[in-house]
Structure 1
């Protein structure tokens, strides 16, 4: 490969009429809805489902580790940059092709969770929860890469991020609220089937979109080939997940891990390992020449590029992104068990997650996107961190207040508004860190790394709560989120260096 080929910027996804400025907002709102609808079903709703079935809180905490899968999306994100799905990709474009496969995976996984909703076998519950998380994450990787290709500046990113998060959070709220209410009046099977039907609805809309300018074949042929490829991918992912899960559970059983296990210390040690590894590798990475294999490699090159471009500033950047969403993730992990323990029924919780959370979250996203465009990102990020802390601390009040509708509604409103604002600012910030040469891989790495420590701690949340109580847990989670501001002075002026162009 020539030096020019190695450094050339990949051609972005074609801008078809469906992705023109007039309709981009609607498109990314739809994509956000597609990704947000299943998220609560393997996180918050699943924790409520397990709680109603009498599963121990520590085991429910372990189920929070299903949310770790998106953290490791960098492992398969380069494949989405490099390969197109047969049929779908050649007719609709690479990004949309993967989005369509992911939606089929989401639908199939959620139907499987519906018909195993009795949780008679927790390993089976975990299997389909992991598959749902995998396909939801795959959809996000493809959609994020497409957004970054189409909007390379903060001014362009702001509106798209707002539209995407409006769709995402409205779908999360609809799924959480709808599933809880349906489960309270029918059962968990119907709850998951109802949300699975909603998750399937965007697929025909995307399949009817205009083809890519360089399309290959007819629409019917593309759909038939794409469905065949999707079936193979879904079957392969099921087999791989089942085998890996069997091995992991066997190792956990051999190690004596169970409901009485205190995983907190082990989790904290694991969390330190990525930072130690990066600190050790950085001195060598920053000296790598452009021709070095590590920078040219399809697999590791996109990730090495992050550390090469930002140098030693990469460490405080990654420290900042690690703490910034801490409160959001920890709230998501145990807010529903807290509300059930405080005496709230599923219908009241569902109303709070619907009529209250949706407008609050959308208002927060709108304000966050506006702040990201109008203010220096330094100040917008600081406001988001303070809001996130308040959104967690409000649950301490909920725990001590007598159960009442206005209590859970106020707590939900502040929580959703604060985390919506924080999330919008954060997405814009991460998007600006990405090298346009590697949009899928680098955004997957940065957004995944941001949730590594929070989701590890969320998995140990049951153990932590058992030691310090509900009030201590939510006080700690809000304080950890606020700690992100400590890193802001160190990253405020972090600017990437660029490699000089070489000639063949």
Structure 2
């Protein structure tokens, strides 16, 4: 008599997996991550796109506005002071809030103070003063990013990082909506000073989140006072050595993947607004489609990326996200050939923002999984700086390439970067599967072989 066939349990397992995903949305940490994402995203445009509009309106030359972009290096080199955020307690605040939250509160106060300083400045009278306050905002904002990333990585296990990353992206993009379209609307109806003062007030949202957040175990770890005397080289080498020890030779491919993964977005993004202007789109059309509608599409992409990574694991989603984000640039090549077409503009921005949001969430989850809990903030700052630096440097030459080959071929070239991204993603995925299989495989025992030899002899 044949044994009874066990009922197929795949559907209940899938149903339980999705139920767990949606139950997790009510987790207190996810609400806090939404707040921290908002607080991290709010200052970004206020020292770049939004500030550039104010400076240009005040008569500042394009050359001076371009030089102001060097303020972005604060975000790219945040790994230099990330060890201090990982291992040192801010005086007074750390005793009250714990290390992570103390750094977040200190950075948020710095951002608010810098925004107030920018609001009270007049670029037409004394531009260096305004740039100095903008630099304070960028430095404090980059420090906040380090502290928030450390808190996020320590607040949940690896299988919970994808959803946290998606919710962080949601908060971040909502903040971009406020500091982009919101600030421009306030400046249009009132003035620039009121716009920046309003953004400074919105930093209270992040401060409230800090006060509501629980204190993590890492917040009470002994402070590594040695770091005050450590050189910059030591601060960078120690976390990198830990990564190399855990990942071995596969770290080379991993770093190459991270460096290239968002390159098409960074390079194409520099030429996106010039393309819209040259195609004859009005500023209102660009603002409505890109700054408002596009943000919500990006939020949807970030959520889908987080849910997909939680459901299917990070690596297959990393392959899909990298290829989709690069391929979406082909839509801009089509737009450059087609010309002024509002429907095609909307479709292009929709596909690009959705793919970028998806890829961004998955990459955050992947990089978070590479870090060690004891050096989470430092290692994540190193990895996130790596993925941002190539795009910023190569993006500076994007105008030269666009002038030489024209918009259609420029965006086709950026899309072709998706090919090596796909190959690197597949190679890293294969290495990860091999490493996981090696961890699960028990050591072989000689007894079965001996038994087989005895049976053969008999």
Report the TM-score range of the alignment, normalised by the length of the smaller protein: 0.7 to 0.9
Structural mapping, 1:1-80, within 5 Å? 22-49=27-54, 62-80=67-85
Work out the CA distance in 1 between the residues paired with 2:403 and 2:48.
Answer: 20
- 1:255-404 equivalences under 5 Å are 300-403=237-340
Cα distance in 1, alignment partners of residues 271 and 147 from structure 2:
29
1:86 positional shift: 1.9
- Which runs of 5 or more residues in structure 1 are unaligned? 1-18, 217-292, 499-504
State the match for 1:103 in structure 2.
108
Secondary structure of residue in 2 paired with 1:451: helix
Match runs of 1:55-204 below 5 Å: 62-116=67-121, 118=123, 123-153=128-158, 155-204=159-208
SS at match of 2:260: helix
Cα distance in 1 for partners of 2:280, 2:119 equals 26
Q: Match for residue 453 of structure 2?
A: none
2:353 corresponding residue in structure 1: 416
Counterpart residue number, 1:285: none
Instruction: Identify if the C-alpha distance between structure 1 residues 152 and 215 changes in structure 2 by more than 3 Å, giving closer, same or farther.
Output: closer
SS of the counterpart of 2:27? helix
Structure 2 CA distance for aligned equivalents of residues 70 and 166 of structure 1: 20
Cα distance in 1 between the residues matched to 2:55 and 2:332: 21
Indicate how the Cα distance of structure 1 residues 45 and 395 shifts in structure 2: closer, same or farther if over 3 A, else same: farther
- Alpha-carbon deviation of 1:396? 3.0
Answer with 142-151 or 296-305: which moved more.
296-305
Q: Name the Cα RMSD after superposition.
A: 3.4
The CA deviation string for residues 356-415 of structure 1, in whole angstroms up to 9 with x for no partner, is 123211210111112212224332111111221133333334444444543443332222
Q: Which runs of 5+ in 2 are unaligned?
A: 1-23, 221-229, 440-458
RCO comparison, higher one (Cα < 8 Å, 6+): 1
Residue pair 1:58, 1:461 contacting (<8 A) in 2 also: no
Match of 2:240, SS? helix
**Secondary structure class of the residue paired with 2:372:** coil
Q: Count residues with an aligned counterpart.
A: 402
Checking the alignment, whether the CA contact within 8 Å between 1:387 and 1:418 is kept in structure 2 is yes
The structure having more radius of gyration, on CA atoms, is 2
TM-score by length of 1: 0.70
* Aligned-residue offset at 1:123: 4.9
- The 1-side partners of 2:25 and 2:217 are apart by 13
Shift of 1:424: 0.6
**Aligned-partner Cα distance in 2 for 1:329–1:120:** 33
Q: How does 1:422-441 map to 2 (within 5 A)?
A: 422-441=359-378
Alpha-carbon separation, structure 1, partners of 2:252 and 2:218: 42
Query: Per-residue displacement from partner, 1:287-331 (whole Å, max 9, x unpaired)?
Result: xxxxxx99x966631122122322322221111111101122234
